Structure 1
């Protein structure tokens, strides 16, 4: 036994032996991380072999750099590479646990805009076993420090180092070829990062994503007006005509966009121990003057809430990685709904109880034509007023009324709630419903914060009725994205009352509420398939705004002959007939459609082609800043310099508009404030 250990130690005391040891540790922890920390959807022996293989090519290449150096320097390089790899794995483990996706350069670049208030989330996300990715670095470091493994100062021949690098390239070629055979057009068609990691590895994904980000940034410099021809040609044949029964029904009315954070459709009429989770939203949903859509899907990517806002107010998708608002919100030209309404005589304002820099809103909203942005600088703050990402909803909405009542009418007002945000924690005095009992700590608190949001929504609707705004407004209510990610399959199955769930079930779980209320509007539940990309054209038609030459990739949800293919950011799609999730096609009953006829296959291929087309066109518009080359008739390019969201400037503008316009709510009330009409049971305000 002793002689065996001595031989092993002698091998490890050589540079090549240490190289193999470091490489093995890197491969093992990466493979175990794939299997235990990510949900890559590996199936079949080929994919299992590729999953085992894919850490090696890039690993050999990176660690092999050390072989070109002699002495301690080569060992330092191997240890630094190992540490950086561990940090990259660790960061992705945390990010994936919350967002079911991998870190991208776009997300890292925007971290300064979105990282505030993440401390609580990170504490909730971390598991003790996550730190095991650093174990090999610590052990190997100690073995070197205490000279259990000695540094081999001999130089490895350059030819040997070159052979190692060549081996890495050959292995990657084998990896890529086998991957392409198992998943054709892996890098040209897929929008799902899970596929890239599953087949080619997390390190390749990092490099590929960096290349994609660079390509996007260079696209703008090389873009020209001729690039719009493809977009305009597509819109000529794919724009749905307005429904004459609804066109202009809300013309001249105030518009409220009420943002239900992380709110999913399954919450509608959902009960816990016989108690409704969202009674106020339920009542609003079933109102005779509310148009409710029960097949409305969130279509967000990595940008989450920012993607939802981008789609709602621009009818453009988010990016494959990162966020439109953080990457392009400051510099790009937009033709957003707030700007269009501003130019039609509307006051436009966004309300949010967090810092203005979150998701780069303080710059993006200027590009979108918002006259006002009432961020956290405008509200009274106390320690117990906030949770996670800003003011608690009841406190936020109560304070927002002081600015809402001063806006000249008609106005467009977007109110963004935050309390129903991951990690779904609420202080005991605000809890008024029991948790679910799935055993998943992330999921079980979700109904408590959703119930709190529902109460805040009920208080806000009550205020609108008391103040008189309810009768003269179109109130749009929507959920921005999922609250429970697909990583929580067991808990989701319990919530839905199923023994197990399929990929199709998870796709259907991406439904979020979308409701439009206006007095005199013929309501009811509309079963058309649609998503957030379709909101802007729907609202424009209801408001009677000319919408025949705008660049929008969505279609009016009320149009009688609209295409009902709903594109997801990862390239999947759903529709009333067929849905494609990953590599599988499902029929309308959620069953795998394995024996499609030629005609059916043609239909599915057409839906996939449409999905790919709208996603690629949206990316070209955004990354090339193509809207700078095109202006719809009657629209003026937004001058961002005319907007300032500083508290002093916002208050000054409100006072100025009070003098020039006599249409605000407070002026209609003879100068008497309506803030006391907002009643809340928030314990913090008692």
Structure 2
């Protein structure tokens, strides 16, 4: 008996050594990657899920003869390794994993290539070293005498290993689905999924979801669910009458500032203010100091999308790429109904982020882009803020009134080196780092904003305009958080602190004659911009997911990954923990908090349904027929 077992082991080692090498290498690399995602603690169950995924891959290879099997396993090793490097690079900036829908945005990679290159680390390429080193080994084994196992035996081996892999992986997936209902279908927290069922398992779920979504798109949504969604939207319609219609007849200017985060406001480095002009101007504004960005994979374009539509960004990919042909209930369209001239100003190419199509969908008459403006100075990805903002100021004076102008700056874009080179701002102690380059870049943009603000005042534009300003998204990748914490003197360096303090962006509203200036502490986010404007400008905008910040009494911030806060409790989905905002202590969730969590997750699901099923087209059509 023992001799038979020994013979079988020797036979397996001799004829299937490629399988064992593949299993060892890919398992080891994947576990290292998962540990990077999870920190020091890795759930023991993830090992079983990862092995199950590898068993499925290996089972398929067993259908081939020796040469074909070796080729297949080598290809799988390369694919898994390449995806790990892509995931790591993506994770450093977005704190998320790459997905199939992100491939839709590959056209933008050329534009942000410098940013991608800056996120790569030399250590990342260690994941690919075995792919190169295995080439001579692969050639050696391919030239050996082939395994003579007949097809019947290969099919039996395939079936056994495949079924084992599927069953074990199903157990892990089902356990996760029961633990967090809706997580796998929404992919709202991709890194958590990978930490539970492995990186290969996550990408398998992603592929399944893409296929399932395409199938669902072709199917009708139940009428009962449509009514629930419309009811939720209409419940956000009106929160109060403060500031109602205060903007009627006035111009609206929204200034979206690239990578502007709150931690630079009123902060000094080496005795110098980082943003002196913004610091001065916000004293003339209503300033929201607990305002959060809520973007996902679309980054800047997601900020634009939420500001103009008050719908959540796409669960995967960018809404601007995926839903450009949808019917939307956008801010631009509503202001056009009030005879406003609507325009966008941005110093990049028209086609970047599909803007040339999306702006038409969102109701903008004209898009002043890099092709139309004077591109006499390029900084980073487009026209420098130094020349872009004065050109915008000149154009504003010529527009038909009243107007809505959406202005998007660009120079302070990651990795910040181009703008940093334009200023001698002293960042001693941070020179040459991402943090140091960011401080210089945002200081450069602040200088240009100072000139822009002065121009708006001198030309009298602010006398009959309401100006909103905010930062679009984060500036510092979490991989650089240690330097950021050094800059601000942060002691509580945990995931909760990272979310609560360092996902904030400034938001301010300037009213004519500097009225209503002061600080508002309401917890709010980019989703709330449109409903707030709708109240001020007397717009009928029933289909929004956000809240009017000027009339809300309770905070309302939901992040695309399922984290949320109401101003009292902060839930961090990446670690599945709840915190009391006043004490910053971890707490056990009450029944009410868990119900609120379910409501927030339902909001994300409903927003996805609205976009995937183009429901606003149907809702608006029904409303129009009822009003006739």
**TM-score with structure 2 setting the length:** 0.91
Distance 2:214 2:252 in 1: 35
- What's 2:616 paired with? 627
Question: CA shift at 1:635, angstroms?
Answer: 8.0
Alignment pair present for 1:198 and 2:195: yes
Alignment pair present for 1:152 and 2:149: no
- What's 1:654 paired with? none
The answer to whether the Cα contact below 8 Å between 1:314 and 1:552 also exists between their aligned partners in 2 is: yes
The answer to whether the Cα contact below 8 Å between 1:490 and 1:500 also exists between their aligned partners in 2 is: no
Distance 2:554 2:236 in 1: 8
- What's 2:293 paired with? 298
Alignment pair present for 1:171 and 2:160: no
Q: Judge which range, 473-482 or 179-188, deviates more.
A: 179-188
- What's 2:555 paired with? 564
Q: 1:221 aligns with which of 218, 223, 235?
A: 218
Task: Give the direction of change, closer, same or farther, for the CA distance of 1:360–1:153 in structure 2 (3 Å limit).
Answer: same
Alignment of 1:483-494 (within 5 A): 483-494=475-486
Specify the SS of the correspondent of 1:546: coil
Specify the SS of the correspondent of 2:37: coil
Question: CA shift at 1:439, angstroms?
Answer: 8.1
Distance 2:414 2:192 in 1: 26
Alignment pair present for 1:431 and 2:423: yes
Question: CA shift at 1:115, angstroms?
Answer: 2.0
Q: 1:92 aligns with which of 69, 82, 87?
A: 87
The answer to whether the Cα contact below 8 Å between 1:72 and 1:151 also exists between their aligned partners in 2 is: no
- What's 1:612 paired with? 601
Q: 2:587 aligns with which of 578, 582, 594?
A: 594
Alignment pair present for 1:269 and 2:263: no
Question: CA shift at 1:351, angstroms?
Answer: 0.8
Q: 1:310 aligns with which of 305, 311, 327?
A: 305
Question: CA shift at 1:402, angstroms?
Answer: 4.2
The answer to whether the Cα contact below 8 Å between 1:82 and 1:137 also exists between their aligned partners in 2 is: yes
The answer to whether the Cα contact below 8 Å between 1:426 and 1:448 also exists between their aligned partners in 2 is: no
RMSD, aligned CA: 2.7
Note the alpha carbon deviations across 1:440-486, whole angstroms, 9 max, x for none: 82222111111011111111111112222121111110111111133
Distance 2:39 2:187 in 1: 15
Distance 1:533 1:428 in 2: 31
In structure 2, stretches of 5+ residues that fail to align are 1-6
Count how many residue pairs are aligned between Structure 1 and Structure 2: 611
Specify the SS of the correspondent of 2:467: strand
Task: Give the direction of change, closer, same or farther, for the CA distance of 1:120–1:29 in structure 2 (3 Å limit).
Answer: same
Question: CA shift at 1:554, angstroms?
Answer: 0.9
Task: Give the direction of change, closer, same or farther, for the CA distance of 1:42–1:320 in structure 2 (3 Å limit).
Answer: farther
Specify the SS of the correspondent of 1:488: helix
Distance 2:411 2:60 in 1: 49
The answer to whether the Cα contact below 8 Å between 1:95 and 1:103 also exists between their aligned partners in 2 is: yes
Alignment of 1:123-522 (within 5 A): 123-146=117-140, 150=144, 152-155=146-149, 157=153, 158-176=155-173, 179=176, 187=184, 191-223=188-220, 226=223, 227-244=225-242, 246-287=243-284, 290-329=285-324, 331-382=325-376, 385-426=377-418, 430-435=422-427, 437=429, 441-508=433-500, 509-520=502-513, 521-522=515-516
Note the alpha carbon deviations across 1:63-107, whole angstroms, 9 max, x for none: 321211113122111111222222212221222222221111111
Distance 2:135 2:89 in 1: 25
Distance 1:189 1:488 in 2: 28
Task: Give the direction of change, closer, same or farther, for the CA distance of 1:63–1:280 in structure 2 (3 Å limit).
Answer: same
The answer to whether the Cα contact below 8 Å between 2:378 and 2:384 also exists between their aligned partners in 1 is: yes
Alignment pair present for 1:531 and 2:525: yes
The answer to whether the Cα contact below 8 Å between 1:12 and 1:18 also exists between their aligned partners in 2 is: no
Distance 2:15 2:414 in 1: 47
Question: CA shift at 1:50, angstroms?
Answer: 2.7
Specify the SS of the correspondent of 2:571: strand
The answer to whether the Cα contact below 8 Å between 2:70 and 2:142 also exists between their aligned partners in 1 is: no
Specify the SS of the correspondent of 1:312: helix
Task: Give the direction of change, closer, same or farther, for the CA distance of 1:111–1:190 in structure 2 (3 Å limit).
Answer: closer
Distance 1:364 1:89 in 2: 32
- What's 2:100 paired with? 105
Q: 1:63 aligns with which of 44, 58, 67?
A: 58
- What's 1:657 paired with? none
